Amino acid sequence: MPAYAVIGAQWGDEGKGKIIDFLAEDASVVVRYSGGNNAGHTVINQFGTFKFHLAPSGICWPHTMNVIGNGVVVDPDVLLDEIGMAQRAGLPGKLGVSDRAHLIMPYHVTLDELEERRRGKSAIGTTGRGVGPAYVDKVGRMGLRAGELLDPEDLSLRMPQIVDFKNELITKVYGGSPIDIEEIFEKTSRWAEALAPYIVRSEDIIAGALEGGENVIMEGAQGALLDIDHGTYPYVTSSNPTVGGTLTGTGAGPRSFGGVTGVFKAYCTRVGSGPFPTELEDETGELIRNKAGEFGATTGRPRRCGWFDAVAGRYSVRVNGFDSMIITRLDILDGFDSIKVCTAYELDHKEIDRFPVDSVLLDRCRPIYEEVPGWQGSSAGLTQASQLPPGAMAFVRRLEELLGIPASIISTGPKREEAIVLRSLMQ
Ligand code: IMP
């Protein structure tokens, strides 16, 4: 059986954690392929309520192996906290981290903060978790990988050179306080001991599952519009949440894929800076934020809220090749008299229907809306399509038309079982 990618289709926070917890019943391996502990995946099931920042959201199922792929950057302290939390809660899934996942070191967190401060008004609004600087070092060939923790001799050769360089940067360019190398060595030896049993060759686990006829889920983090290549650069994260990341970030081959699905919220949100054409800076935006609890799972920041953007959505379909969409948080739109969907933009007095990826152009775009009727009655917690208010189903059908792909699942609440399956996603 194949691999299935579940990808955030907007600016992140689409509710992927809940969906992956739901789908993992039918998978034996769940692999996170990108990002770091900038993500916060909320999962609610019989074990409790969890916000996973690193652990794949399949970890609540006893039959799953949950792999943090090589494309992820890992803060070992955060990972150890999550392992502790999973043990205390009795979560039955197994966990592994790729030997080639890069580590977020204390100097990455320091640099994330110093770089943001220096950007001043053009700050990206990062999550401050050191994710960007860790990817910079990965590409700059100055990174440390999980597997290297197991080779203290090599670490003791490489580390002083790296820390010297980082300290020059921190003190001379940013005027910050240097990092103590002894503290770093203390940390790496503690991490090595605690993480050794979890360090795995992830590509072998994935290949083994696929060859054995098992389903594998590729778990996205963040969203397509935050992608370093395809997102609203420079207001993006430093990895590839789009479909390419499922290959480079895991070591799976393209022929093993059986489907690529995009997770779309029934409206849009964005955290941090950057263009957001359908943003509602009024009481409707406030209403959505409060009703939906749109506050960052990682930083607690209020999320910017706006209407569903089908122009951005079509772009996301194009750059990911989605074959279906999962619509989340439909219940939040219950009770609105009417709902708006952005179908085109006005840019410099011209109507356009293609997403200008350039942030400066996108920032000048004004949304052109289609207004669709709202619905009375509640969709919250429903599990059958026949129970949905007709207006809610009409809204879903309109999104399918606008994006040109069918909806496979509608999520109607935060709990695992609160979902309507319109078509089966996995074999
Ligand atoms: P970084 O990934 O911490 O470097 O932040 C870069 C941008 O991506 C900022 O605008 C963040 O708010 C945004 N971002 C990063 N991770 C997430 C996420 O999981 N959900 C939503 N936005 C995110």
Question: In the chain, what are the domain boundaries?
Answer: 3-100+202-260, 103-195, 264-421
Quote the pLDDT of residue 365. Answer: 98
Give the residue-averaged pLDDT of 6-18: 97
Question: Among the options 41, 53, 102, 230, which is catalytic?
Answer: 41
- pTM of the model as a whole: 0.97
Find out whether the beta carbon of 8 lies less than 6 Å from any atom of ligand 1: no
Dihedral (CA of 26, 17, 396, 256) sign:
negative
DSSP, residue by residue, 212-248: TT--EEEE--S-GGG-TTTSSTTSS-SS--STHHHHH
Measured in angstroms, how far is the CA atom of residue 119 from the centroid of ligand 1?
16
Does residue 427 have a pLDDT over 90?
Answer: no
Measured in angstroms, how far is the CA atom of residue 223 from the centroid of ligand 1?
9
CA distance 130 to 30: 24
Quote the pLDDT of residue 297. Answer: 79
Active site residue 227: no
Ligand 1 atom closest to residue 129's alpha carbon, by position in its atom list:
3
- Cβ-based neighbour number of residue 245 at 10 Å: 26
The class of domain 264-421 in CATH terms is: alpha beta
- Cβ-based neighbour number of residue 19 at 10 Å: 26
Categorize the per-residue pLDDT at 276 as very low, low, confident or very high, splitting at 50, 70 and 90: very high
- What backbone phi and psi angles, to 5 degrees, belong to 121? -65, -25
What is the C-alpha radius of gyration for the chain, rounded to an integer number of angstroms? Answer: 21
Quote the pLDDT of residue 395. Answer: 98
CA distance 94 to 67: 8
Give the residue-averaged pLDDT of 315-323: 98
CATH 3.90.1150.10 for the 103-195 domain, yes or no = no
CA distance 352 to 331: 30
Q: For the segment 51-103, what is each residue's pLDDT rounded down to a tens digit?
A: 999 999 999 999 999 999 999 999 999 999 999 999 999 999 999 999 999 99
Q: Which two tokens stand for residue 32?
A: 């996170």
Report the CATH fold assignment for 3-100+202-260: Adenylosuccinate Synthetase; Chain A, domain 1 (3.40.440)
Residue 5 contacts residue 260 (beta carbons within 8 Å): yes
